[in-house]
Chains A and B, each alone.
Chain A
Amino acid sequence: MSPRRHVDDLFSAAYEDDLSPIDEARFHAHLQSCAPCAAAFAEFSASVEALRELPRAPMPRPVHLPSTPPVAERTARGRISLGWLNAGLLRRFPATAAAAAIAAVLVIIAVTHGTSSPTAGVATFPSLSSPASKNAPQPQAATASCTQQIVRVPVTSLPADFSAQALTTSPSQPGLRLVLATSNLEVTAGKSVDVYAQLVAPISSYEAPGAATGAGSSAAFRPCVSIEVGGSSLALVPKSSGGQAPGSGVAENPGLEEASPAPASAMLSFDIPAGLASGTELHLIATVPAGSAGYGSPALTATLTLTIR
Chain B
Amino acid sequence: MDDEALLERARRGDREAFAAIVTRHQDELYTMALRILGTPADAADVVQETFLRAYVRVPVLRGQTIRAWLFRVAVNCCHDIQRRSVRRPADPLEDERGNIVDLPDPALGPEATALSRERLMAVRQALLSIQPEFRAVVVLRDVNDLSYEEMSAALRIPIGTVKSRLNRGRTMLAKALRGTAAAPGVAEGNA
- Residues of A at the B interface (CB closer than 8 Å) are 8-13, 15, 40, 42-44, 46-48, 50-61, 63-66, 68-73, 75-76, 79, 140-144, 170-172, 210-212, 287, 289-290, 296, 298-300
B59 touches A51 (CB 8 A): no
Given known contacts A12-B163, A44-B170, A57-B101, is B58 in contact with A71 (CB within 8 Å)?
Answer: yes
Of all chain B residues, the one with the shortest Cβ separation from A296 is: B80
* Residue B19 at the chain A interface, CB threshold 8 Å: yes
Given A47-B170, A70-B13, A171-B45, are A55 and B59 neighbors across the interface (CB < 8 Å)?
no
Apart from A59-B29, A70-B58, A71-B59, 17 more pairs, CB < 8 Å? A11-B167, A11-B170, A40-B174, A47-B184, A48-B170, A52-B143, A54-B120, A55-B103, A56-B27, A59-B30, A59-B47, A60-B44, A65-B18, A65-B51, A65-B52, A71-B13, A212-B85
CA distance A192 to B28 in the complex (A): 48
> Which residue from A13, A72, A142 sits with its C-beta under 8 Å from B163?
A13
Whether the Cβ atoms of A63 and B22 lie closer than 8 Å is yes
Contacts of B171 in A (CB 8 A): 8, 11, 44
Q: A172 with B13: in contact, given A44-B171, A63-B51 (CB under 8 Å)?
A: no
Closest Cβ–Cβ distance, residue B31 to chain A (whole Å): 5
Give the dominant DSSP class at B's interface.
helix
- B contacts, CB < 8 Å to A: 10-15, 17-19, 22, 26-31, 34-35, 40, 43-49, 51-53, 55-60, 80, 83-86, 95-97, 99, 101-103, 119-120, 123-124, 126-127, 138, 142-143, 163, 166-167, 170-171, 173-174, 177-178, 182-184, 187
The interface centre, meaning the residue of A43, A66, A75, A287 with most chain B CB atoms within 10 A of its CB, is A43
Determine the distance from Cα of A8 to Cα of B12 in the docked complex, in whole angstroms.
52
B166 (CB) vs chain A CBs: closest residue: A12
Contact yes or no, A55 B40, CB < 8 A: no
